[in-house]
Amino acid sequence: DAGVIQSPRHEVTEMGQEVTLRCKPISGHNSLFWYRQTMMRGLELLIYFNNNVPIDDSGMPEDRFSAKMPNASFSTLKIQPSEPRDSAVYFCASSLQTDYGYTFGSGTRLTVV
Amino acid sequence: GDSVTQMEGPVTLSEEAFLTINCTYTATGYPSLFWYVQYPGEGLQLLLKATKADDKGSNKGFEATYRKETTSFHLEKGSVQVSDSAVYFCALRGSSNTGKLIFGQGTTLQVKP
């Protein structure tokens, strides 16, 4: 099993540009989570999906952020337009809804200059 | 709402010292409790878990006991190694069974030879 796969690993972009982060969950997992990690705020849950349906997006900072899960094997997190304060490591994680543990991807380090 | 509070770090220990990282929680019902570990440049990995009161989770020499009376889940290890240097996160999954994990702020452990 390849685990949760995130791409890209690193992204540097200019303020105002659109950024798209990608995630492939573990096959068979039906829950997917997007987290953001910064030194100041720690780990923040942005949004999560069960069976491809968004369940709770209350952690999405503002309308510039959007997330989709068109099928069970792919999800995207989009920031448009990006701002320097969006610089962080973004993690995707997946799990079985009835299970107790998450499997995290290696993260995407986003730098907005 | 549900929340997790961890002791502030960093925690600096010499090799073979005893480790305790405190974690307390606030939750309704009967949450499940977890410890995750994050090594530099990587995603979080599940270290151990406990799903009901008085359960003890253990893995790789680490232990934590679910204490409902004190709402605590402290992480312990009898003899730390340099390779244990990482950030440790306490987390809970509420009894609503949504699959959503709530993380503490993380505690950095540095072990010196």
Render B11-34 in DSSP notation, one character per residue.
EEEETT--EEE-EEEE-SS--EEE
* Bigger pLDDT: A23 vs B52: A23
Residue A56 to residue B98, Cβ atoms within 8 A: yes
> DSSP class of residue B79?
S
In the predicted structure, residue A97 carries a pLDDT above the cut 80? no
Assess whether pLDDT exceeds 80 at residue B11: yes
- B 80-99 residues with CB < 8 A to A: 89, 93, 97-99
CB contact under 8 A, A100 and B103: no
> In chain B, positions 13-42, which contact chain A (CB-CB < 8 Å)?
32, 34, 41-42
Cβ–Cβ pairs < 8 A, chains A and B: 52
| A44-58, B28-42, B79-93, B97-111: least confidently modelled range | B97-111
CB-CB neighbors (< 8 A) of A98 in chain B: 97
Q: What's chain A's average pLDDT?
A: 93
Distances (CA, A) of A84 to A11, A47, A109: 13, 21, 13
